[in-house]
Amino acid sequence: MEHKAIKERTRATLIYDGTCPICSSTVEWIAENEKEGSFEMLPCQSEALDRRFPDVKRDNCMKAMHLVLPDGKILSGEQALPEIFKRLRRYRPVAVLFKLPGAKVLSRIFYRWFADRRYRIAHFFHLSVPKK
């Protein structure tokens, strides 16, 4: 039981729009590439969201993914990207790119643009929510 408790304290919780085909596919890709036990995935639509993470409001969650770090710090949207990459097996070096000059501004602009259009992009590519 102690092993499970330690694992829970070291995992980050990725909160995402579970009805978005792109978001759901991305979460599957992250799960396939994560260092074992790095993430718990939780859709915004989960009934547990309000109880477990009262600071993550459902409206905000539908606008951007949220990453709750083991220490309780909450990162949203493009701020979560470097932390996600740090927890992936082969893609960890990508996190360094977010430290380059201008990377924060560019990632914020691109993330907002993409997040605001994710359903249209999914429709354009005929994507649907993956079956579990």
List the one residue out of 24, 14, 8, 9 whose CA is nearest residue 81.
14
Residues of the chain predicted below pLDDT 50 = 1-3, 5-6
Q: CA–CA separation, 72 vs 66, rounded Å?
A: 12
Spatial separation of the C-alpha atoms in residues 51 and 48, rounded to whole Å: 5
Per-residue pLDDT, 6: 44
Indicate the domain borders of the chain. Answer: 2-124
- Alpha carbons 94 and 28: distance in angstroms, whole number: 19
Torsion of CA 26, 78, 33, 62, to 10 degrees: -40
Q: Residue 2: what pLDDT?
A: 47
pLDDT of residue 8: 56
Task: Quote the pLDDT of residue 5.
Answer: 46
Q: Is the dihedral of CA 50, 53, 108, 32 positive or negative?
A: negative
**Tokens, residue 95:** 């996190």
**Contact (CB, 8 A) for 67 and 74:** yes
Condensed to tens digits (0 to 9), the pLDDT of residues 84-100 reads 999 999 999 999 999 99
pLDDT digits (tens, 9 = 90+) for 113-127: 999 999 999 999 999
pLDDT given at position 22: 96
Tell me the CB-side half-sphere exposure of residue 5, using CA atoms within 13 A. 2
